[in-house]
Amino acid sequence: MTKAALAAKAPEERRERILRATIAVVRERGFAGARVTDIAVEAGTSQGLVLYHFGSLAGAFAASLTLLEDEFYEELERNLSEVVGPVPRLRHIAELGAGYGPAVGDWRLWLELWVRAIRDDDARAARESLDTRWRGALRQVVDEGLAARVFATSDPKASVLRLAALMDGLAIQLALADPGMTTGKFTELWWKSAVLELGISPVNTATGPQGGRKKR
């Protein structure tokens, strides 16, 4: 049965490989430039199989969005759990945005998603869900900070909205490699706004003392 079980999983694995390939290709060429053939090659299968599983190219796009959502959620949670205490956590978020990984590529993917969301309902739903979740996470950190009295804001919801929007706006410049924008500047610009927005006192600004990053 072990062999059977493994074998039974094969089609499912193929399917997922195609979804990952779809995301990779979109990241590379954008929705507008992604071809069925590109996806098939990237996934190491045939065009036919892409269509067999998802019915159409648009279907593959749509399906890949839900994978994207799932992974985003997962990674977000993993990332935030790495760090304790509202201030370090917020600082961590500032650094996450700049990303230690292939952040520029990721932000480009985000831009692609925004534009697709203008005209495609699946994309619209996905980006809305992603954004809501993301703002929710930020909100949670803010609430923690308020409860601990290290943050102060009269309108947490508005503060979160602004901080989230600021990150998107800075991300555009990062994604487009605007001259003068670097990951370091990204982090510092956002962090400074967060400090201002949430009335974090300079005493609390240092990340060292009350918690801090675990590593990396």
Partner DNA sequence: GCCTATCCTGAATGACCGTTCAAGACCTCC
Partner DNA sequence: GGAGGTCTTGAACGGTCATTCAGGATAGGC
Q: What angle do CA 167, 173, 175 make, to 5 degrees?
A: 90
Contact pick of 20, 30, 49, 143 for a copy of itself (by CB under 8 A):
30
Place of tokens 């090659």: 41
Residues 94-153 touching a copy of itself, rule: CB under 8 A, are 108, 111-112, 114-115, 117-119, 124, 127-128, 131
Quickly list H helices, 34-120: 36-43, 47-54, 57-81, 86-98, 103-119
Rounded to a whole number of angstroms, the minimum distance from the CB of residue 122 to DNA is 14
Nearer to DNA, 52 or 73 (CB): 52
Interface stretch with a copy of itself, choices 88-96, 139-147, 171-179, 206-214 (CB under 8 A): 171-179
- Cβ neighbour number for residue 127 with a 10 Å cutoff: 20
Rounded to a whole number of angstroms, the minimum distance from the CB of residue 47 to DNA is 5
Rounded to a whole number of angstroms, the minimum distance from the CB of residue 216 to a copy of itself is 27
150 — phi, psi (to 5°)? -100, -15
CB-CB contact of 155 with 168 (8 Å): no
Interaction pattern, residues 42-61, with DNA; x per rule: CB under 7 A: ---xxxxx-xxx-xxxx---
Residues 11-30 touching DNA, rule: CB under 7 A, are 11, 14-15
CB-CB contact of 110 with 171 (8 Å): yes
- Cβ neighbour number for residue 26 with a 10 Å cutoff: 25
Interface positions with DNA (CB under 7 A): 3-5, 7-8, 10-11, 14-15, 34-37, 45-49, 51-53, 55-58
